[in-house]
A and B are shown apart, each in its own frame.
Chain A
């Protein structure tokens, strides 16, 4: 159990276009999902926290107008990179909190990631 999927796994887009990445919890409900960004051979950086039915909370330095996050249901959060530029090329990973594990020691489950290349 506790599987998180991301779609697409890889995407190439032209500079100036927008691209949407989906994060789904397949066998559990997630009130909270997190989006991370990982540059090559670097660590994961938290970009934003996505809460179902409310606005996302962005980390300092993350442009909310460039990285649009929508958490429309308990199993789906989307990240849209708007007007993408080559510097947005990166590996994007989502994680989801299991609602059933609410309380102190909930588990976060990670998706397999999406590699975005902007040409």
Chain B
């Protein structure tokens, strides 16, 4: 079974600064997907960024980028120029690529991100 570990229950950053959220995972599979989801107080899950394990290039979406280290099984999220609207719970998630896409997501415990004005 796969596991996802987020070792930072809470992180705080000043507005406009950069923050990095950590995530490690354990799997015996070689083909999979990794995700970062944002859950604001509304509880709606919002996809922030996705990384395919077979791609060496780190994914980037505007101010959000990842550092994907496959050998180390590490998948950190960097948020640049932090904004007040970035305050939320952030979940790292894993999904197997087998099974034709029939697998659900395995989530980490989450990191509560606080933005200091």
Q: Is the CB of B107 within 8 A of A32?
A: no
Q: Whole-angstrom distance between the alpha carbons of A112 and B97 in the complex?
A: 25
Main secondary structure of the interface of B (DSSP, over half): loop
Q: Is the CB of A42 within 8 A of B104?
A: no
Main secondary structure of the interface of A (DSSP, over half): strand
Q: Whole-angstrom distance between the alpha carbons of A118 and B14 in the complex?
A: 40
* Tally of A interface residues using CB under 8 Å: 26
Q: Which residues of B contact A108 (CB under 8 A)?
A: 105
Chain A residue at minimal CB-CB distance from B9: A41
Q: Whole-angstrom distance between the alpha carbons of A37 and B108 in the complex?
A: 14
**Does B106 reach chain A (CB closer than 8 Å)?**
yes
Q: Which of B43, B91, B97, B110 has the most CB of A within 10 A?
A: B43
Q: Whole-angstrom distance between the alpha carbons of A105 and B102 in the complex?
A: 11
Q: Which residues of A contact B52 (CB under 8 A)?
A: 104-105
**Does B117 reach chain A (CB closer than 8 Å)?**
no
Closest chain-A Cβ to B42's Cβ sits at a distance in Å of 7
Q: Which residues of B contact A67 (CB under 8 A)?
A: none
Q: Which residues of B contact A59 (CB under 8 A)?
A: 104
